[in-house]
Amino acid sequence: MATIPYYRYAEAEGLAKQVYDDIVRTYGATEPHGIYQLMGHTPEFLAASWTRSRFLYGTQSNFSIKDKHIFTLGISATNNCEYCVRIHTSRLRGLGMSPAELIELMMVVDLVNGLAKFAEGTRAGDGEVLPVLAEEDAEGRSSDFLHEIGEAEGNRVPNVIYRLMAHLPEYLRASWDRAQRCFQEEGQLGLRMKLMLAYCVAATVGNDFHVRLFSDELRGMGVPDQTIVEMLLVIDLACGYNRYVQGLQTQQEEKPFGPGAEADKTLAHAG
């Protein structure tokens, strides 16, 4: 159960009541989300939080509403926030997202979380704690795999992650195959969206190596700085909300929605 009681809609007064009314109008619900009825104890914070949510999720801007929920779901899964995972999965289903798209979304989350921790553990790109192998220094299958990776990346030197993995060639092979499957094909979500999601996950984990790697990839595709900044705004808001509901132990079944109010509702109704 939540560690503090909800400030219920029926009891709300003043600024909290004004914000609750706007939330209810926006969602077409009978009550605000549970997270907002916990914020209602601090009306000024509630108002500021709702304004940010409306700004980010209630306008098309550089991204569609669906794009923003994709980012937020990946961030929330990375932060292990069940409450937000369920909410944003529901939003995406309401926006027509298929099971295959959801699986590909989680494939990116899985891959980038693992690579980010590998990079942290080896200090990749930042004074590595293991020797970094070049193709000419590697032996046998590792050398062959590094050569294949270099060719696939336009005859560039493979990035340091793969040159560290070359100490264990079978692991390098499997890791490269997974990365190829994720980022060398358009798939369900499209390569641009998958790289954006990867950037959001890397920033959420706090891994410098992959933040730089994916931001460089996006800039190489012509993504402007303004678009990257907007992704950072989504990361900022989502991570804060993740920690808020986790810290107060908000349970999914405690969400005070009215009958059917949750289904397929999005902030696209904000206009």
- Comparing C-alpha atoms, which of 205, 203, 228, 207 is closest to residue 160? 207
What is the percent of the chain with per-residue pLDDT over 90, rounded to a whole number? 68
pLDDT class of 2 with cuts at 50, 70, 90: confident
pLDDT class of 156 with cuts at 50, 70, 90: confident
CA distance 206 to 101: 25
125 assigned to some structural domain: yes
Q: Is 107 in contact with 182 (CB distance < 8 Å)?
A: yes
40 assigned to some structural domain: yes
Exposure string over 84-103, b if 16+ CB within 10 A, otherwise e = bbbbbbbbbebbebeeebbe
pTM > 0.85: yes
143 assigned to some structural domain: no
What is the percent of the chain with per-residue pLDDT over 70, rounded to a whole number? 92
CA distance 1 to 244: 14
Mean predicted confidence (pLDDT) in 140-159: 86
Dump the DSSP string for 109-141.
HHHHHHHHHHHHHHTTTSS-SSPPPPTTTS-HH
1 assigned to some structural domain: no
Specify the CATH number for the domain of residue 44: 1.20.1290.10
CA distance 19 to 40: 9
142 assigned to some structural domain: no
- Supply the range of the domain harboring residue 56: 9-130+167-270
Residue 244 has pLDDT above 90, yes or no: yes
**What pLDDT is attached to residue 60?**
66
137 assigned to some structural domain: no
**What pLDDT is attached to residue 1?**
76
| Total count of domains within the chain | 1
4 assigned to some structural domain: no
150 assigned to some structural domain: no
Mean pLDDT of the chain: 88
**Residues 6 or more apart in contact with residue 182 via CB below 8 angstroms:** 107, 108, 111, 194
